[in-house]
A and B are shown apart, each in its own frame.
Chain A
């Protein structure tokens, strides 16, 4: 569970490529913590921004578990509540 909490504010606003964020920021409640993201438009981008492998997690958006095939199609909106549900304990080789 990578964590992007920072007492100095939202770390995700700082893009790795050094470019300014595309939008002023999207306020999301991710894993119970409120954070501003530099507008990840869809669920898949949010997962990537958080360092989560989309294959390992299910996502619950405002109480509904999403279909894993829809990660790219679903656009996040201001104030959305997102929880990650991790697949665990499988002996898959």
Chain B
């Protein structure tokens, strides 16, 4: 049985005062667990807000090291963290923001061998990955294990958000069946990204997680929201389960996890 201490009630008072959240909603957040894949451009804002919001347990999986080029958007890390493992740097920052939150650190890559074990204990998964192979691996694993996944992607001045209820709502492959051929879509390292766009998308992902966990409003299931910072516009596209989807369709062709092999992808810094 979890109980909010007096300190916690004061800390979360601006949440608790919202009728949609209240003490019960805050209690739910404390009883919940969230796994954030990547502590980079999207993971940074998502982790900061989820930690501040008082999620009970937060997992961070990240195998990279803080680099000077990360600091323009990865606001979880600071200049003295350069050279430090991102997972450790993330853990230190988050623990300072909110010592009530239990932080699990996974300092390795997500692979088809370890993904089921890693995602199993968490209620919601946040996608902050920087590459297509892991993005598809994560989608497939969440569909197979009926996990809730909050997708996010950024490139240049654009962002994308979509919430997926594994096996129930449209999945990433229902919309993007296969990854683009290697070399066709540039990475953030090649094409650049406005740092604040990562902030918008990562913060929207955190908002979705909090809504889903506290049962507030309407999650972005079966909807894909695209953000265009240049025009400052959001464009929503309805998505629906694709009966021909290779992982969640009527006759799935992907019944075991696959890891796409993209040459050189490890050289790309995290988005």
Contact = CB atoms under 8 A, between A and B. Distances in A.
A56 to B, nearest CB: 5
B268 A89 contact: no
Interface string A34-61: 0000000000000000000001101010
A93 interface: yes
For chain B, which range describes its interface: under 10, 10 to 19, 20 to 34, or 35 or more residues?
Answer: 35 or more
Interface stretch (B15-23, B48-56, B81-89, B233-241): B233-241
B175 A87 contact: no
A63 B42 CA distance: 29
A50 B187 CA distance: 22
A31 interface: yes
A87 B224 contact: no
Given A1-B233, A91-B131, 6 more contacts: A1-B230, A88-B153, A89-B129, A91-B132, A91-B271, A92-B265
Contact of B184 (A31, A32, A56): A56
A60 B239 CA distance: 9
A3 interface: yes
Contacts of B233: 1
Given A1-B231, A3-B231, A65-B242, A92 B182 contact: yes
Contact of B189 (A32, A58, A86, A91): A91
B180 interface: yes
Interface of B: 42, 129-132, 135, 152-155, 157-160, 174-177, 179-190, 224, 226, 228, 230-231, 233, 235, 237-238, 240, 242, 262-265, 267-271
B101 to A, nearest CB: 26
A1 B230 CA distance: 8
6 contacts: A56-B180, A60-B175, A63-B238, A88-B185, A89-B129, A90-B130
A4 B184 CA distance: 24
Interface in A1-45: 1, 3, 31-32
Contacts of B228: 1, 3
Given A88-B159, A89-B130, A55 B184 contact: yes
A90 B187 contact: yes
Contact of B268 (A31, A60, A93): A93
A43 to B, nearest CB: 16
A55 B262 CA distance: 16
